[in-house]
Amino acid sequence: MSLGPYTVWAPDAQRVDLVIDGEGGPTGEPMTRVTDAPPGHAGWWRSETPRFAGTRYGFALDGGEPLPDPRSLSQPDGPFGLSEVVDTADLSWSDDGWAGVPLRGAVIYELHIGTFTEEGTFDAAVARLDHLVDLGVTLVEVMPVATYPGERGWGYDGVDIWAVHPALGGVAGFARFVDACHARGLGVCLDVVHNHLGPSGNTLIPFGPYFTDTHSTPWGPAVNLDAPGADEVRRYLVDHALFWFRELHVDALRLDAVHALVDDSALHLLEQLAAETDALAAELGRPLHLVAESDRNDPATVTPRAEGGSGGLGLTGQWADDVHHTLHVLLTGETQGYYADFAAPEALRTLVATPFFHDGTYSSFRGRTHGRPVEPSTPGWRFVASLQTHDQVGNRARGDRLSQLVSPGRLACGAALLLTGPWTPMLFMGEEWGASTPWQYFTDHTDPDLAAAVSAGRAAEFAEHGWGDGVPDPQSPQTAADSTLRWAELDEPGHARLLDWYRTLIRLRLEVTDLGDPDLRTGRVSRDGDVIRVERGGCEVVVNLGAQEWRGGASGRELLAGWDAQVAARGDGPELVVAADGCAVLRRA
């Protein structure tokens, strides 16, 4: 069945040829310029040649070599090959009754498909979904799956952002994964990158003004959101987001580094995207979420939009790295770089009262004042907090996890503080059992010069900090292999004990109202030496990070869960005993 005409936006081209790869080889035919496009959206070309699923095709601009479709859904031969027509109606779904998942009350699990299992595919990941259900996860966050040159990588160098990387299983494999998640009651959040493409394989530039020199980002020219031609570029990004919701049934998008989406328009791209996402959610009858990664510490990201445009951007949630930094400093004692400020006693308030330690305060790492205060009435669930993420682990020289830095008891303490807090907690794959595998930076750049530069640059960057030859080569296949989870560890007693602790904490979070209460006005945190106490309603978490056993009164309190902690009898009433690197979760009886 024909899927309609071929279309492409190429406003500066004088001629566009549709190239079809048939039995006799590639053949080209001129496309027709569309003349009735509304202002700001001119430059479209059209061919009435019928599209059929499986056809390989490309577009040749002004007599040049054929390039892949900017909206291609499949690049079987990578970003330098021809596109493949995909009929999304051919995808098999069994989730007609799926009602979605709310962000409030969610437990997120971040994973990288390529290293989640040894096979590194969507289908192999499906076989491990029951583990996530048993753990108590409700929303699976999948790191980027866009196509890029090579076989392996983190996914943030995608260039064909609509096309699912073939090494992972392509668009059909992704659909099977989403469907399998929904069958188990798991929502799916996809990590997407709109702030840059590349550094290799970007074929968008010949098609039109997708990028602008008006602004810049750490990755080069900025995506064009406010310069001439921006209307259609914005449409490209918004349509891309809506595509995942509508056609691939995802429940949420994690938007990478939105601070790099530089937009001086009156209507910021993120506000436009949020409004159109909300409209689609109403049409589909299920919640759809946008969760931003932002370096700004600006609560306006999640402040609801208001009529007349006077409110915030209206996204559902955003990452809160300050919570991670506070927990990391507490557990490891590291205070270098951006961790320096978080050794201050005031940083503890990120555990209960604000996700932003820098909320208009001075940041020594940035050398300036940073952030804005969060209104206490803002619900804590709008902020995603973590002990570990792909960034915070992978950007270390050797990709060492917390399990390589601290004792199992300290891992348990960190989990207790995270999973009983007011924020939406997110786990990084393998964290729940203290995986022994590192998570290292790995690439597979096919451009020899780029590959050599990345390897040399990574080594030089960390050599300045004394790491020398210990930095893994990103281009080595072994680096990705070393970062792959070893599921056999679940059968080892130490790993099994930590996994059971995570299960217990997540279960308690769901069952005990005061644990995880998102009201930022109800929590209190205090520190007495190495002992940290967090109170929320009728519950309390006691964490002993000292080298000696700690004892305190326990009258009228029930021990809900303890790691090397117990309530013991004494003459004048029960006593809570918490070992070094131990913790306890209590409730008023």
Secondary structure letter of residue 144 according to DSSP: P
315 is in an annotated binding site: no
457 is in an annotated binding site: no
Q: Is 231 annotated as a binding residue?
A: no
Residue among 69, 141, 256, 540 flagged as catalytic: 256
Q: Is 392 annotated as a binding residue?
A: yes
Name the active-site residue from 293, 431, 432, 473.
Answer: 293
255 in a known ligand binding site: yes
List the structure tokens of 208. 């039109």
Q: What is the DSSP letter of 273?
A: H
Helix, strand, coil % over all residues of the chain, rounded to 5: 30, 25, 45
Are 83 and 74 spatial neighbours (Cβ–Cβ below 8 Å)?
A: yes
**What tokens were used for 21?**
């790869």
First to last CA, the chain: 67
- 131 labelled ligand-binding: no
Q: 273: how many CB neighbours lie within 10 A of its CB?
A: 25
SS3 (DSSP) at 127 = coil
Does the annotation place 495 within a ligand binding site?
A: no
Q: Is 391 annotated as a binding residue?
A: yes
375 is catalytic: no
Q: Which pair of structure tokens corresponds to residue 507?
A: 């279960």
Instruction: Please indicate if the annotation marks 256 as binding a ligand.
Output: yes
Tokens of 294: 């932002």
- Annotated catalytic, 491? no
**Contact yes or no for 108/161 (Cβ under 8 A):** no
Integer angstrom CA distances of residue 490 from 199, 432, 487, 500, 526 = 38, 10, 6, 10, 35
552/11 Cα distance (integer angstroms): 72
With CA atoms as reference, report the closest residue to 72 among 221, 203, 222. 203
323 is in an annotated binding site: yes
DSSP per-residue letters across 470-535: GSPPTT-HHHHHHTS--GGGGGSHHHHHHHHHHHHHHHHHHH-TTTT---TTSEEEEEETTEEEEE
The answer to whether the annotation marks 176 as part of a ligand binding site is: no
Residue 534 assigned to a binding site: no
Task: Please indicate if the annotation marks 321 as binding a ligand.
Answer: yes
User: Binding site for substrate, residues?
Assistant: 254-259, 321-325, 390-395
User: Binding site, residues?
Assistant: 254-259, 321-325, 390-395
Q: Which residues carry out catalysis?
A: 256, 293
